[in-house]
Amino acid sequence: MSMSAAEYHAMRTAEDRHWWYRALRRYLQRFLPATSGMVLDIGCGTGAWLQHLSHLGYEAHGLDVSHLAASLSSARGLSLLSTASANHLPYRSGTFDLITSIDILEVAPVRPQQSVREALRVLKPGGHGLFVMAAHQWLLSEHDRAVGSVRRYNLKQMGTLFAGRAVKIKNATYLFAGTFVMAAIYKLLNRPQADAAHDEANSDVSLPHPLLNWTLSMITCPETLLHPHLPLPLGTSVCVLVQKAGV
């Protein structure tokens, strides 16, 4: 199952102001290497993170399998966009200084081992790869079904994607520890409906009440200061930063 057009439009409407997307961008910025250069965001979606990378000074390239996602990213003024699968990247080996792969490895059509191999292939020697995916299979919910996600990894499982590869793991941690209990309770109460395989799933992508949106955003702020210096033992997302071997 892939994301519907309605889900992409909902993402585009919410991701600039929604507390979760804003917190994620704050977290991820803390993991970025000090130098700029060419970056590829694999699965760029509707472009908020890619635009953020561009504002930070990167030459920001985005790739998504969806033509609609590419169109919505283009509407942000982003132009270095490609439409292709994360399993087969249309770039030469050793092209990019930085690769980001955010919430792509859990999606049904993506093969995690192959996608990681492809990402590292197009990364320059010495370059960095930042990989994030939803954590803990037992938290699979109706929202996962709505966005086409079928797998969630814990930190150990995420680490196995890089075993035997010519990379050094620079950092590995969970994200969203501060909202973990609330999110876990919500997701456990909204498990995928086994008898509704052909029904439209319910997505969490919508702007909450402004007060709730602000409150949840504030809860995540202290955690931002801990990254990347103090790995966290739990969270609803898992993040791994690697550096490719070589000079």
Provide the pLDDT confidence category of residue 35 given band limits of 50, 70 and 90.
confident
Q: Rounded mean pLDDT of 7-15?
A: 90
Whole-angstrom distance, CA of residue 176 vs CA of residue 2: 25
Query: Which token pair is 50?
Result: 């890619």
Provide the pLDDT confidence category of residue 203 given band limits of 50, 70 and 90.
confident
Q: Rounded mean pLDDT of 200-212?
A: 84
Domain region containing 96: 5-244
Mean predicted lDDT score pLDDT of the chain: 92
Q: Residue 148's domain is classified under what CATH number?
A: 3.40.50.150
Whole-angstrom distance, CA of residue 169 vs CA of residue 180: 24
- What are the Cα distances from residue 147, in Å, to 33, 113, 144, 204, 207? 30, 20, 5, 10, 17
> How many structural domains comprise the chain?
1
Instruction: Say if CB 80 and CB 60 are below 8 A apart.
Output: yes
Whole-angstrom distance, CA of residue 139 vs CA of residue 5: 25
First and final CA of the chain: distance in angstroms? 40
In terms of DSSP H, where are the helices of the chain? 5-14, 19-31, 48-55, 67-74, 112-121, 142-146, 155-160, 180-189, 210-226
Q: Does residue 210 have a cis peptide bond before it, meaning omega lies within 30 degrees of 0? A: no
**pLDDT exceeds cutoff 90 at 146:** no
Least confident of 36-40, 87-91, 141-145, 190-194: 190-194
Note the pLDDT of residue 199: 62
Q: What torsion, rounded to 10 degrees, do the Cα atoms 213, 218, 220, 222 define?
A: 180
**pLDDT exceeds cutoff 90 at 5:** no
Note the pLDDT of residue 224: 86
Whole-angstrom distance, CA of residue 37 vs CA of residue 22: 23
* Helix 67-74 and helix 5-14, axial crossing angle in degrees, nearest 10: 30
**pLDDT exceeds cutoff 80 at 217:** yes
Count other Cβ atoms within 10 Å, centred on residue 199.
9
**pLDDT exceeds cutoff 80 at 34:** no
Whole-angstrom distance, CA of residue 175 vs CA of residue 159: 15
pLDDT single digits (tens) 150-195? 999 999 999 999 999 999 999 999 999 999 999 999 999 988 775 5
Q: What pTM, to 2 d.p., does this model score?
A: 0.94
